[in-house]
Structure formats: C-alpha cells, structure tokens
Amino acid sequence: MNTEAGTTTSGVAGSSSAKPASGANSESDAQIVLLNLPQAELRLLCSLLAREGLSDNAYTLVAEVMKKLVAIVPTHCHLFITELADAVQTLTKSAMVELRVFSEAVKALLSTTSSDGAAILRVLQALSSLVTSLVEKEKDQHLPPEKKHTAALSLVCDINAALEPLWLELSTCISKIESYSDSAPDLLLKTSTSKTSGVMPPLPAGSQNILPYIESFFVMCEKLHPAQPGSSHDYSITVSEVEDASLSTAQLKTSVSGLKVDEKHAAFVKFSEKHRKLLNAFIRQNPGLLEKSLSLMLRVPRFVDFDNKRAHFRSKIKHQHDHQHSPLRISVRRAYILEDSYNQLRMRSTLDLKGRLTVHFQGEEGIDAGGLTREWYQLLSRVIFDKGALLFTTVGNESTFQPNPNSVYQTEHLSYFKFVGRVVGKALFDGQLLDVHFTRSFYKHILGVKVTYHDIEACRMI
C-alpha cells in the first residue's frame, strides 16, 4: 500500500511539475515565432500608420500590436523606430506643401481636409510610445543602453532636426490664419458667447485642419525631445526660427530660466507664447485637449487663459463628484453659525467633506434644495471675515484680506484657520461663491510659492 501510494504521489508530483515546464516551452516557442517574423511584414505593419483610409480603431490596434511586439521581442524596436522615422521624413515633404497651400489661400483651408497632419500625428504618437517604453525598460532594469537601442534613440534627434522646417511652416500658417480672422470677421465660426464678454474669441473657420499638426508638435516637445537617455543633444535649439519678433533673446532666456526642467524647451515656449490666442481657442472649443495632446501647457500655466483654467479645474471637480459620497448634514443656529459649523465640521475626514452638503437652521422649517446651503456660505463667510472674529484683517483698499496678526487672542485660532481652509476648499468643490479676496502674498503662501517684497508691498496696513 505504501509503495503504491508513493508511486501515485510521485506520479502526481511529476505531472504537476510538467505543466509549468510545458507552459514555459509554449511561451518560449511563441517568442521564437515572434522573433522570426519576416521583416517585410513588420515594415508593412509600420506603414499602415502613415496610410489614410483606415478606421480609428484600426490605427489604435496597429500601435498596440507594435508596442506588445516590442515588449515581448525588444529587438524589433530598432526596426520599428527606423521605419517610423522614415515615414515621418516622407510625410514631412507633403505636409509642408499642404501647409503652404493653407497659408496662401484661405479657401483651401475652408474646402479641404488635412490628411498629412493626421498621419504625422499617428506616427509620432506610436514613436513616442515605443521610445518611452524602451527608456523605461532600461531605467527599471538599471542596464546600460544596448547599441541598437542607443542607435534607435539617436534617430529621435534626426527626426527633430527633420521636423524643424515643418514647425516653422506651421507657425507661419497659424500667423496667416490669425490674420485672416482679424481682417475678415465673417470667416469666424459662431460661438454661443457674445463678443462683448471678451473671454471667448471665436475659432477661425477651417483651423481644425492644422490642429493635428499642433498636436504633433506637442508630442515632439513632451515625449520625443532628445533629452531622453541615450542622447546628448540640446532640445532648446529646436525651431530656433519660431520666435515672435517682439520677444528678444534676453526676454526669452529670462522666461525659460524660470520654468521647471521639463519646461526648459525654447521651442515650446516660443510657439506657445506666439500662438497663445489660437491654442486657447482650440482648448475653449474642446477642453479635453488640455487633458491629452496639449497637456504640456498645464506645466506653464501662464500660457492658459483664465477661463480655460477654470473650466479645467471644474472638470476635475466634476470627476470627483461622479463618485458616490455619503451626504454631509449639519444643523446650526444662526446666532452661533461660526461656532456650530466649526464644531460639526472640524473633525470630519476629507472623504466626508466631499459629500453633498445639506444645511438645517435650527428652529426653522424648510428643506435644503440648495438655497439654504448658499445662505450658509454667505452668512458664515461674513462672520469669519468680520473684524470681531480676529481671524482676518483688511489691507490696502479694505477689499482684500490676510491673516490678522492679533488672531492669537482668539481661542484655538490655529484650529479656526484650518477650519476656514476647509470651508474655502468645500466652497470650491461645491462651486459656491465666496465674496472674499485675499492678498497676493497670502495666495502665494497657500500655494507654497516664494513671497517677494513686491508681494508684501500690498500688505501695508492703512
């Protein structure tokens, strides 16, 4: 019996150990098959991205297949990058012709649809995906770059140089489009906002044709700059001609030096500064661009108009609202609105504060359908910023506030300041208006930005 049991046990163990070996063999076989794929077929796969006529899903699948092939067989990466680089070179020639046509005749801009711009964008997006995965793999494994990978990354530098004339032509084309809109208002698209608002200039008709080119430029700036590992080129010299004549070299150096490392790209700074108006018009029409292809602008907020910043902020908040949160209910007395609100909210968690606020005024009938909440914000803000509360004091023209140096005489004043921060944050989260303005130095302090003596000048007590 023992012998049979032992035989049976060993047999089971042997069969169980054979399964992983079989799985490993099949995985190895698959890798060998992918490794030996004909190069002609791989080149054909790359060429699909530069062709017109396929569906968006088909283009997405092609890019995904390339990325997964490189993940399994990294040696294919050099071939893919080489082929995509050649495709960019070929597309650039016809794209420059297309942009010149758009520049020379507004009718062409209105009557045709860009094909080369969309193709260049697809190719550069696929290229950026491959380069990013290649660099991240070498970084994660702490391995020195292989010769093939180094050669592939060096092609990125060549692509940047090859595309520089295209970006120059793009800048010229945009300038012409902007001049069309200034000289011929009838060419502008209608917008829902009146012209007197001053914050939503209309987007020139036909300008959607150059959007793929602009998106391609941003892909190059964000994902394919030669500052990537394996390259020693300086990206700041790219598109050296795309510079506003009114922006001197000294001014440019000053503006660039103040940016973070990822933003020290003179090409991006020059282009965004010069064409800020049209870029913001695109974002205004399609706010999603700021989340995707034009996200680089968020790293230099001064290039984004305030209304676009506000819309972007609200979209982020809306995403938070889409998640289900438990209701936040408070019951306060009008005469003690600060104390009651403080006691009921100061210990609440961040998750609790994201719930829908419902306010009940004690001793009063009524259901809060939004009106009571608005009234609560108004009444509470008046008490918080009243001089008698000793928390804030007015400066300058009596319309801006900053923390009161005498707040120490208020019991638990630091805890109250934290509570005020929660109220302000909750108002922003709920989209409620607080008729309060802080000094610039206080805003910068909240954001952790260095305060200068110029900021403090506005804080002189009067």
Same domain? For 234 and 92 the reply is: yes
Q: What is the rounded distance in angstroms from the CA atom of residue 407 to the CA atom of residue 192?
A: 47
Same domain? For 337 and 273 the reply is no
Q: Which residues of the chain have pLDDT under 50?
A: 1-19, 187-200, 228-264, 462
pLDDT of residue 241: 35
Q: Sort 249 into a burial class: Cβ within 10 Å, 0-12 / 13-18 / 19+.
A: exposed
Domain match, 264 and 362 both = no
Q: What is the DSSP code string of 65-122?
A: HHHHHHHH-TTHHHHHHHHHHHHHHHHHHHHHHHHHHHHH-HHHHHH---SHHHHHHH
* CATH code of the domain in which 403 resides: 3.90.1750.10
Q: Which of 298, 319, 340 is the last residue of a domain?
A: 319
Cβ neighbours of residue 286 closer than 8 Å, sequence gap 6 or more: none
Q: Are 287 and 173 members of one domain?
A: yes
My answer on whether 73 and 131 are in the same domain is yes
Is residue 219 one of the residues assigned to a domain?
A: yes
| Domain match, 273 and 398 both | no
Identify whether residues 157 and 225 lie together within a single domain: yes
Last residue of a domain, one of 319, 336, 364: 319
State both tokens at 177: 């489009």
Q: pTM (2 decimals)? A: 0.73
Secondary structure of 292-303 as H, E, C letters: CCCHHHHHCHHH
Residues in the chain: 462
* Inside any domain, residue 13: no
* 8 A C-beta contact, residue 395 and residue 459: yes
In whole numbers, what is the pLDDT of the chain averaged over residues? Answer: 78
Q: What angle do CA 322, 324, 325 make, to 5 degrees?
A: 120
- The reply to whether 302 falls in a domain is yes
Q: What is the pLDDT of residues 141-200, one digit of tens each?
A: 555 555 555 666 677 778 888 899 999 999 998 888 877 766 655 544 443 343 434 444
pLDDT the model gives residue 266: 80
Give the per-residue pLDDT at 8.
41
What's 227's DSSP letter?
Answer: T
Q: Are 67 and 135 within one domain?
A: yes
For the stretch 12-27, pLDDT in tens is: 344 444 445 555 566 6
The parent domain of residue 57 ranges over: 19-319
State the total domains in the chain.
2
CA 168, CA 165: separation in Å to the nearest integer? 5
What's residue 184's pLDDT? Answer: 55
Q: Looking at the structure, tell me whether residues 284 and 247 fall in a common domain.
A: yes
Asked if residue 305 and residue 339 are part of one domain, the reply reads: no
Claim to verify: residue 399 and residue 432 sit in the same structural domain: yes
Domain-embedded: residue 163: yes
- Asked which of 275, 297, 319 is the last residue of a domain, the reply is 319
Q: Are residues 108 and 211 in the same domain?
A: yes
Nearest to 414, CA basis, from 393, 391, 394: 391
Q: Are residues 269 and 259 in contact, defined by beta-carbon separation less than 8 angstroms?
A: yes
Three-state DSSP class for residue 433: coil
